[in-house]
Structure 1
Amino acid sequence: MDDMATVAAVRRSTRTRPLSPARLLEDAVTRAGLWQRLDERAAGDPGGLSVLVTPGTSTYGDLTTAVSAVLVEQLIDLLGDRGYRNITVGAARCGPDVWLEGLGLLQTCRRLGYGGCTQRGNTYRIADLSEDVEPARFPTSSVLHGSGMSRAWLEADFRINIAKNSTHPEFGYALCLANLLGVLPQADKHHHYRARRDGAEVVVDLLRSYAPDFHIIDAVVSSHGCAGSYVGKPLGTGTVIAAPDGALADMVGALLMHVDPVSSPLNARVLRDHGLPDDYHLDADLTPYQGWRNPPRALVEAVRRLAPDGRAHRLFSIASWQVTPGAAEVTDPALARLSRLLTTLIRVADENPAASAALCTVVGTAASASFTVRAWRTGFRKEKVRRRDVSLAVDPDAYSHRDFDRINGLLQPLEEIIDALPADAWLMRWQHLDHSILFGCERTVNAPYAEFVRRVDISQTISYMADYLGGRVHVVSRDVQGRPTRQIERNLYLAQPNYMAFYGGPPIDVCKLEKISYEERSQRIAWQTVHSPNGSAEYDDGSVVFLPADGGNRTRIVVRVRQRFTLPLTWQVFRPETRPKLREPLVQDSYQRFFTRTLDNFEAQYEGRPYRIGRPWEKQDDMLAAELPTQRLTEAARLVRSVTAQALAVSKLPGQLGPDGFRHVAPVDVPSRFGLLEDLREELRPAVSGFWQGLREAVARDRRSR
């Protein structure tokens, strides 16, 4: 099959040559080589080959946003004509389908037209790809390592992925690759595959381990406009696209929309890491669709600025779907109103410039607020920042043992320079070198060396660093005791220095080769940066050494690094290298703060104290019930109404009326109108007392350490 030609076929119905959807489908899959690939896989037994068809089924009463069930059943008939009768339809849902939970997926599929039997009598099963989940063999380098997949997906002999032809307010367009997010098992796709993990990395790793065998795009009736994947806006495009490769099918689909295929960050990542097939062929007319409207660039950029792991992005995603009348009125009326506003603006924005401007303004304002919140948390509320699950982002097989073994030799000249620099009062040394920073520091801690190296794993040094957000480690080799000696690691940190987040500075995201050695009187880890997925760093090389001190009664930690991080555009224009009197104090202060906290973390690891920043992701399987900002707004409105009602309530006057005509009131007769404030005070009392107790314990601990 590897020698079979890779063809992307486009069949179109025109005024001069009108074709039915069934004919478009048959011609497209035939020209793209579906039958040859199926026959080769079946090896003469088509009835024994299990075929899984996964059409996009995300819809809220608007069939325009879902793949046509009629087209899917026509494909099943074509398969049946050739003897392939062991067919399962696996429903793929890509959106935050909050409103469908009560209905159930199988019932929803029936409403979409999937009845289990075609008009020609070919039967098929319907499978919920979020059920009957089994462990999957994703490698340790994968962002999906440890995740499962539906048994229907894992055991299928041949998988056909069918996507709807539609625009998307964040990706720009959403076709076959975007539809693959829907075949993953977790019901809340946004939480698990867009927020906790990067959607592009998820798709890349899925293609590497469990890729579909064939892809089809249903463009008979497309959904275009500002958010065609969310709010249906039908356009008769009379087209079916078919290809054995999803990236190739999406490239053709994007060209027909008259957009750059790499304008979608999801597709750009797949094209970069997965690439297109060798020697592919296009059997296609790529004339763009007449009357097609893509999302405004301002809207796409605004939505991308909404961090996927934030509530604002989740709120926009949910509210942009059409709300079933009455579904959210009782539990979250604010969300229902916001949904009606957004869907109304989306529907008219393409023809109404004022509505388009209003939509972009609403989303842009939310994006600015979200950006400010993220920057504030980076600098001042690090416990609120979400940690990240990531892939390794590099191919472990691309590096030999020699690449790891030469790291120490590459670092040695730089370490000699660092050691020769004068140390300041904090035993820290630093120097500019070729637009990068050479830095070194050390600390001797009151911990016996043998016990310190037992509790503090040298191979986990990167995760002890300050502002560590998460990462992934792939061990390449181990010694006879099972300890890692060579490993590849990807690690993420908050923007450095933290205030760079206010200027748009991204998190530090680097992939490193690491060499680890265990000697009788020392342990050492040295690393070299080989890739930065987000371009945040050019250099982030260095080493950490554990050494015995005072005859082994204490432990000496030595850190040496070379770093060069990419500055935000504002600072690039400012050119701090031309203002050394301003730059040098800033550099010295930022490095002193970062590595002081890093050395503190080593001690905390030894003592068993918590030191990690950020919030871990919830353990529960779903986050469909996660609180949204509109829920807080609803509760706030209810609270205001309650307080107002109490304040305006007419009650019996206190006290007793005396014979002199005056009302005599005792203190106990006065009713409390501040019950809510009293309750709030009682709620805050444990937190306040706990704060002061913690402060007293910290002061006592500092005194003991002196």
Structure 2
Amino acid sequence: METIPDDAAAGPPTAASPTGPGDGMTTVAAVIRATRTRPLPPTRLLADAVTRAGLWERLAARAAGDPGGLAVLLTPGTSAYGDPTTAVGAPLVEHLIDLLYDRGYRNITVGAARCGPDVWLAGPGLREACRRLGYGGHTPQHHAYRVVDLSEDVEPAGFPASSVLHGSGMARTWLAADFRINIAKNSTHPEFGYALCLANLLGVLPHADKHHHYRARRDGAEVIVDLLGSYAPDFHIIDAVVSSHGCAGSYVGKPLRTGTVVAAPDGALADLVGALLMGVDPVSSPLNAQVLSARGLPDGYHIDGDLTPYQGWRNPPRALVEAVRRLPPDGRVHRLFSIASWRVDPNAAEVTDPALARLSRFLTTLIRVADENPAASAALCTMVGAAASASSTVRAWRTGYAKERIRLRDVSLAVDPDAYTHRDFDRITGLLQPLEEVIDALPADAWGMRWQHVGHSILFGCARTVHAPYAEFVRRVDISQAISYMTDYLGGRVHVVSRDAQGRPTRQIERNLYLAQPNYMAFYGGPPIDVCKLESITYEERAQRIAWRTVHSPNDSAAYDDGSVVFLPADGGNRTRVVIRVRQRFTLPMTWQVFRPETRPKVRDPLVQDSYQRFFTRTLDNFEAQYEGRPYRIGRPWQAHDDMSAAELPTQRLTDGVRLLRSTASQVLTAPKLPGRLGPDGFWHVAPGDAPARSPVLEEFREALRPAVTGFWQGLREAAARDRRSRPSP
């Protein structure tokens, strides 16, 4: 019997495509460092770094003899919120502008790349923040430049349908630039481990609420990969003259004079060098790991400089990084930690959310002392770890019992459509056919379902005859979307490769996300099912069929998830038969891997049978619901205007609750004024018309309750009257 080869779930054949311009120039990462024996000023560090990394040759090639007409955009990281240590210094950027002017480049714009928590905390606007950082519009040599907000004047960017940014725009300044130079601050990050050139690119995206749109709604690593694929910067610089290190150097400035500037035409290469200088693994950051996996490093690159790690440098504790990564990005706790970790102006924060301001002061103080104080470091890691465990428990509970409260996900296709030919799609049916013959020959259980373990995977089949005319059923239920009709579907992306004469998809690539299966696996740390599939669709007169095979699992949740769905006419076309056959092998959580269920078939088999019976019974129900037009989707969809406001933060609700409690307590505890007056004889005199004062709170409660009580008695009287009228006469 022919089976699907073991490499069916392997990723597409990807070459290490360079992220540079591909113009034949050698890709050089220059590392220029000041030392005690060679104390270079920052301006000299910058000039030497960009020269040795080939900036001027690349600019000249792009300018084609007209440097004055070349639109050059600089995007320094200006994410500081009252803390210049976490931002790229204006003197370094302005010196680069002077160097550009000296070579004839006069059309220069500074596009502020900002990732601060302005959405939640009142503070200076972007231009005011840039002014505080020293970006005044003129260099010391009196060369003019513009400062623009990259979240304004947004135009459609034309991201492809396979991109997670499909439908998103970009600032006109970014789209119109002829040469983009990305300038990042050298700093640590409590979640990524380090944040350099690639992380700085999150700031150039247009939405002001970066966390909502590029961390919660979408995966930040996918966003960076797709941005590089469409509108990549042409040159990258790391400002490590004075760096910010420690537990959360990107948020809470902790300066360390490192006297270094790194420059390279490729962002992934620049970040690799920057990570090595910090003494960390370059792929320890999920942003950089995904870019390196998807795009690789340039061919034949060269590192020019010394990579000895910085002396006295402190990276975030591994326990802290792991704890923060366990916080669901679309959850409130992750958002609250991201906001409260910034060093903010407490006076501004008091206006909108006093509880958040107090939490921010506590958390930033703890972060600041954690590097030198082991007790503070342990407290910080324990606090975030406890929050992560609580968030994971809540998410696991929602997976099983409150699926409507789980956010859907916007994702990219995660594979290169050009890596596959039509033959790859046309082979799917032949690969599945021998497995389907085995499934059809298996005995059916009490629910009419057939299943069997084969190796470490499961063969499964089920069918249902629906009371719906075949012609009408296939008109309402699109076979090409059959996978998205399955239960616990969280979202995905479809890329159509070919269509038939009627415009129907015949070959397509699809990425699908589902809740952890079975749902109770979420309590053991089981991840969502995330798979990318090649799909072949056929439309015949008396059958419609979609067949698929898995080619990639971005989170390694599945080794196999192959199968087919067939619509067939039954009872002469008066009804429709839906047949599902699959071969699946999902990755078990570590707890279950230790348990080794394959060695305990008497425990394993009933669990497998129950989980498959539940999943595919609900899936078949979904097909019927789609035909009947009934809702069946789970999860909460994202809206284009659905920015996360401060009202969604737990601290805001706590603040509102405290205010309500104080208001109520002040009214209740206020001593009411006694009726009457104290006479000269020492006795209290009360006139017949005096009435005792009532508490305003009780009065409000009484007035609020009056309609309900009145309505109850009125309804009771009306019901009694109806009963008397309807009572038969004796």
Q: What aligned pairs does 1:296-695 form with structure 2 within 5 A after superposition? A: 296-620=317-641, 622-645=643-666, 648-651=669-672, 673=698
1:54 to 67, 75, 84: 75
CA–CA separation in structure 2 for the residues paired with 1:653 and 1:456: 74
**Are the equivalent residues in 2 in contact too, given 1:29–1:242 (CA < 8 A)?**
yes
User: Does structure 1 conserve the Cα–Cα contact (< 8 Å) formed by 2:252 and 2:364?
Assistant: yes
Partner in structure 2 of residue 212 of structure 1: 233
User: Would the alpha carbon gap of residues 336 and 102 (structure 1) be closer, same or farther in structure 2, given more than 3 Å must change?
Assistant: closer
Q: Deviations over 1:195-214 (max 9, x none)?
A: 10000000011111100000
The percentage of counterpart residues that share the same residue type is 83
Other structure's SS at 1:523 match: strand
1:181-220 matches, within 5 Å, as 181-220=202-241
For 1:70 and 1:98, locate their aligned partners in 2 and report how far apart those are by CA, in whole Å: 28
One-letter amino acid of the structure 2 residue matched with residue 344 of structure 1: T
Q: 2:102 aligns with which of 73, 81, 94?
A: 81
Matches of 1:186 and 1:334 in 2, distance apart?
A: 26
Give yes or no for contact 1:99–1:327 (8 Å, CA) kept in 2. Answer: no
Report the alpha carbon displacement of residue 648 of structure 1 after superposing the two structures with TM: 4.0
- 1:426 CA displacement: 2.2
- Displacement of 1:429: 1.0
Query: Corresponding residue for 2:36?
Result: 15
Alignment counterpart, residue 265 of structure 1, candidates 286, 290, 293: 286
2:269 maps to: 248
- Find the residue that maps to 1:432 and give its secondary structure: strand
Q: How far apart are the structure 2 equivalents of 1:97 and 1:222?
A: 23
The answer to whether residue 154 in structure 2 is matched with residue 133 in structure 1 is yes
In the TM superposition, what whole-angstrom CA distance separates every residue of 1:624-672 from its partner, at most 9, and x where no partner exists?
A: 4451011122222233334544554545899xxxxxxxxxxxxxx9999
| Distance across 2 between alignment mates of 1:649 and 1:443 | 69
Distance between the aligned counterparts of 1:99 and 1:497, measured in 2? 37
Counterpart of 1:326 in 2: which secondary structure? Answer: helix
Name the CA distance, whole Å, in 2 between partners of 1:470 and 1:367: 24
Comparing 636-645 with 445-454, greater Cα deviation is found at 636-645
SS across alignment from 2:613: helix
Deviation string for 1:438-481 (max 9, x for gaps)?
11111111111111111111001111000000000000000000
SS in 1 for 2:75: strand
Counterpart CA distance in 2 for 1:495 and 1:82 is 57
- In 1, the alpha carbon distance for the partners of 2:703 and 2:283 equals 57
Tell me which moved more, 638-647 or 574-583. 638-647
Q: Are the equivalent residues in 1 in contact too, given 2:79–2:116 (CA < 8 A)?
A: yes
CA contact (8 A) 2:247 2:315 kept: yes
- Could you give the per-residue CA deviations for residues 167-190 of structure 1, whole angstroms, max 9, x where no partner exists? 000000000000001111111110
Say which SS state the counterpart of residue 273 (structure 2) adopts. Answer: helix
Cα distance in structure 2, aligned partners of 1:478 and 1:337: 58
Distance 1:59 1:672, change over 3 A: closer
Distance in 2 (CA, whole Å) between partners of 1:86 and 1:425 is 75
Query: Which 10-residue stretch deviates more, 597-606 or 172-181?
Result: 597-606
Write the distance in 1 (CA, Å) between the matches of 2:642 and 2:151: 11
**8 A Cα contact 1:430 1:438, kept in partner:** yes
Equivalent residue, structure 2, for 1:686 = none
Write the distance in 2 (CA, Å) between the matches of 1:649 and 1:94.
47
| TM-aligned CA deviation for residue 373 of structure 1 | 0.8
Change in CA separation of 1:281 and 1:644 when aligned onto 2, cut-off 3 Å = same
Q: Is the 8 A contact 1:187 1:622 kept in 2?
A: no
Report the residue type matching 1:618 in the other structure: Q
Residue 33 of structure 1, aligned match among 45, 48, 54? 54
Deviations 1:194-235 (A, max 9, x none): 110000000011111100000000000000000000000001
Asked if the contact 1:241/1:249 (under 8 Å) is kept, the reply is yes
Aligned to 1:120: 141
Higher relative contact order (CA 8 A, sep 6+): 2
Query: What is the identity, as a one-letter code, of the residue corresponding to 2:268?
Result: A
Cα distance in structure 2, aligned partners of 1:357 and 1:120: 49
Residue equivalent to 1:154: 175
Give the drift of 1:60: 1.3
Unaligned runs of 5+ in 1: 655-668, 684-706
Deviation at 1:403, TM superposition (A): 0.6
Q: Does the Cα contact within 8 Å between 1:99 and 1:324 map onto a contact in 2?
A: no
> What amino acid sits opposite 1:496 in the alignment?
Q
Cα 1:127/1:624, change in 2 over 3 Å: farther
For residues 39 and 137 of structure 1, the distance between their equivalents in structure 2, rounded to whole angstroms, comes to 28
Q: Distance in 1 between matches of 2:554 and 2:270?
A: 25
| Residues 512 and 530, structure 1, Cα contact 8 Å, conserved in 2 | yes
Deviation at 1:100, TM superposition (A): 6.8
Q: 1:476 touches 1:488 (CA, 8 Å); kept in 2?
A: yes
| CA-CA distance at 1:269 after TM superposition | 0.7
Q: 1: distance between equivalents of 2:206 and 2:590?
A: 40
TM-score using structure 1 length: 0.92
Instruction: Please say if residues 218 and 240 of structure 1, whose CA atoms lie closer than 8 Å, have aligned partners that are also in contact.
Output: yes
Deviations 1:596-647 (A, max 9, x none): 1111111111111111100011331633445101112222223333454455
Aligned equivalents of 1:221 and 1:649: distance in 2?
57
CA distance in 2, matches of 1:425, 1:446: 21
Equivalent position of 1:180 in the other structure: 201
Matched residues in 1 for 2:144 and 2:669: separation?
A: 66
Contact 2:30 2:52 in 1 (8 A): yes
Q: CA RMSD of the aligned region, Å? A: 2.1
User: Aligned equivalents of 2:31 and 2:408: distance in 1?
Assistant: 43
Deviation, structure 1 residue 678 = 10
Counterpart code for 1:571: W
Normalised TM-score (structure 2): 0.89
Given that 1:8 and 1:249 are in contact with CA atoms closer than 8 Å, whether structure 2 keeps it comes out as yes
Q: 2-side partners of 1:635 and 1:593: how far apart?
A: 43
Q: Aligned residues, how many?
A: 672
User: How many Å separate the matches in 2 of 1:677 and 1:6?
Assistant: 77
Distance 2:107 2:351 in 1: 44
Separation in structure 1 between the aligned mates of residue 369 and residue 595 of structure 2, nearest angstrom: 42
Structure 1 360/675 Cα, relative in aligned 2: closer, same or farther at 3 Å?
A: farther
State the Cα deviation string for residues 31-73 of structure 1 (Å, max 9, x = none): 0000000000000100000000000001111100000111000
1:284 paired residue number: 305
Whichever residue aligns with residue 29 of structure 2, its letter is A
**2:647 and 2:653 in contact (8 A); partners too:** no
- Structure-2 change in CA distance of 1:582 and 1:639 (3 Å): farther
